[in-house]
Amino acid sequence: MRFWPASFALLLAFGLSLPVSADPTAAPTAIARSTLQFGIAGADNRVPADSGAWPWIAIGRLNREVGGHCTAALIGARQVLTAAHCLYNLSTRRWILPQEVHFVAGYQRGRYAAHTTAARFTIAPGYDPSHRTALTEMARDWAIIQLSEPLDVKPIPLTTRRLADIMAAAKSGEMNIAGYATDYGEQLMLDKGCELLGEATDVKLLVHRCDVTFGVSGAPLLLIEGGKAEIIGIHNAVAETDKGPIATAVPVSAFANSVSAALSLR
């Protein structure tokens, strides 16, 4: 099932949004939508998700006091999962301080289910943000955030399925992605039943063709069946190829052991 060549000839874009308001729970500044369609080909299949209902309530906007936002998913009472590059400040070439990162769960048009700051980060071992477009670094582009306080929101579990089973479920139209794209900063946007192309041949990266753009880095790829949801990967980049845009995600197998260790912490 590993069939997608990792030696992409492509232009990569990472999903950090443009700057947010000084209010850590506020939506980002509105930007002309025509400039933010990178990663969306043909019809825009995104629709609003109900941020008051599970699992969407467990997805939140990850706001940075230094500017910009990503998306993150609650995986434990005090743990969220996101893309590692979301925690790096390109201007200063330093990691952002945990207390400067805010997780706003279930944000929708000024309302949200819960909000707290980060206490510490677990970054993928060996991840080098200065070479984040290298395929080896993209495959390590994940981070676990330990929150300052527990949130009263049901977390989303990680999948325990093998790749072949994940591919079969995705072909049945069960794969979803939802994130806080900059062009819809007030609303969690969902692409339901989008396409999982497979896993790269040389590195652990899922390749998908969902409608994603800036701000969606860190968003979970979800399988949803019978009212149950599970995370199969974390979206981290969009690529333009000669066959149109594709996107990548770090699979659960890359960070499952680290998540187990993080969930044991209090």
Indicate the pTM of the whole model.
Answer: 0.88
pLDDT tens per residue across span 29-75: 443 444 455 555 667 888 999 999 999 999 999 999 998 899 999 99
Q: Which two tokens stand for residue 262?
A: 């993080």
pLDDT at 172: 81
pLDDT tens per residue across span 97-125: 999 999 999 999 889 999 999 999 999 99
| Segments making up each domain of the chain, as ranges | 6-21+38-263
CB 191 within 8 A of CB 48: no
- The helix/strand/coil state of 205 is coil
Distances (CA, A) of 141 to 69, 82, 183: 16, 9, 23
Question: What is the Cα–Cα distance from 242 to 45, expressed in whole angstroms?
Answer: 21
Beta bridge partners, 198, equal 207
Distances (CA, A) of 30 to 17, 72, 239, 261: 11, 21, 24, 39
Please tell me the CATH code under which domain 6-21+38-263 is placed: 2.40.10.10
Higher pLDDT, residue 264 or 28? 264
pLDDT at 227: 87
Question: What is the Cα–Cα distance from 159 to 168, expressed in whole angstroms?
Answer: 14
Distances (CA, A) of 195 to 21, 95, 122, 190: 34, 33, 30, 13
Burial, 106: exposed, middle or buried (Cβ in 10 Å; 0-12, 13-18, 19+)?
buried
Q: With CA atoms as reference, report the closest residue to 61 among 120, 113, 105, 118.
A: 105
pLDDT tens per residue across span 202-235: 888 999 999 888 889 999 999 998 889 999 999 9
Q: With CA atoms as reference, report the closest residue to 111 among 51, 66, 56.
A: 51
Burial, 237: exposed, middle or buried (Cβ in 10 Å; 0-12, 13-18, 19+)?
buried
pLDDT tens per residue across span 165-208: 999 999 888 899 999 998 887 899 999 989 899 998 888 899 99
